């Protein structure tokens, strides 16, 4: 692509996109490598940045693949387009103003930092409860998530 005259920034952009859209959480380091290469293109420039682009392209190409994060955002956005924006549950609403307690805002919320057993609680709005947008793939680091 470089030899054909393609802009190095365009190539870097495509590698960054592939790192999230095609590799995703199967290997989250792919995004770090891709963004570092894009920064190198800006900081170092060609011809030296060709090495950074090659390294990132190879890393992303060889990484395990998952589009689970992309599918999750696409499903969630589709639900919002179809069903509208739902209010967050009262426990997640701001409780730092006068009258919040009377409305039940913040009531019953327990931070998962204070109680790790609360980390898996469904905090979606009432009409969306039980939906799972992110479904980890059986690839790479996501496979470790599904094994838990």
Q: Looking at residue 9, what is its pLDDT?
A: 97
CATH number at residue 53: 1.20.272.10
88-124 pLDDT, tens digit per residue, is 888 888 888 888 888 888 887 787 788 777 777 777 8
Full residue range of the structural domain in which residue 47 is found: 8-62
Asked whether residue 124 is domain-assigned, the answer is yes
**Across 65-84, average pLDDT:** 95
Q: What is the pTM of this model?
A: 0.80
Together in a domain, 75 and 97: yes
CA–CA separation, 145 and 122 (whole Å) = 17
Exposure letters 113-126 (e unless 16+ CB within 10 A, then b): eeeeeeeeeeebee
pLDDT tens readout for residues 37-59? 999 999 999 999 999 999 999 99
Tell me which of 44, 62, 80 is where a domain ends.
62
| Same domain as 143, residue 72 | yes
CATH of the domain at 98: 1.10.3710
Q: How many domains is the chain built from?
A: 2
Query: What is the pLDDT averaged over residues 66-92?
Result: 91
pLDDT of residue 3: 93
Considering the domain architecture, whether residues 36 and 95 belong to the same structural domain is answered as: no
Residues 77 and 43 in one domain: no
User: Are the C-beta atoms of residues 101 and 43 closer than 8 Å to each other?
Assistant: no
Between CA 45 and CA 7 the distance in angstroms is 11
Q: What is the C-alpha to C-alpha distance for residues 34 and 56, in angstroms, rounded to an integer? A: 5
At how many degrees (to 10) do helices 8-18 and 29-43 cross?
Answer: 170
């Amino acid at each position: 692509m470089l030899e054909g005259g393609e802009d190095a920034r365009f190539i870097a952009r495509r590698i960054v996109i592939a790192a999230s859209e095609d590799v995703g959480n199967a290997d989250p380091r792919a995004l770090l490598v891709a963004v570092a290469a894009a920064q190198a293109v800006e900081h170092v420039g060609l011809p030296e940045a060709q090495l950074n682009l090659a390294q990132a392209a190879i890393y992303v190409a060889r990484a395990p693949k998952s589009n689970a994060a992309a599918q999750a955002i696409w499903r969630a956005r589709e639900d919002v387009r179809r069903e509208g924006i739902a209010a967050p549950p009262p426990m997640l609403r701001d409780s730092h103003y006068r009258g919040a307690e009377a409305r039940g805002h913040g009531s019953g919320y327990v931070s998962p930092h204070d109680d790790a057993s609360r980390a898996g609680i469904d905090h979606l709005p009432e009409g969306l409860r039980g939906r799972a947008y992110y479904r980890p793939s059986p690839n790479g680091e996501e496979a470790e998530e599904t094994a838990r």
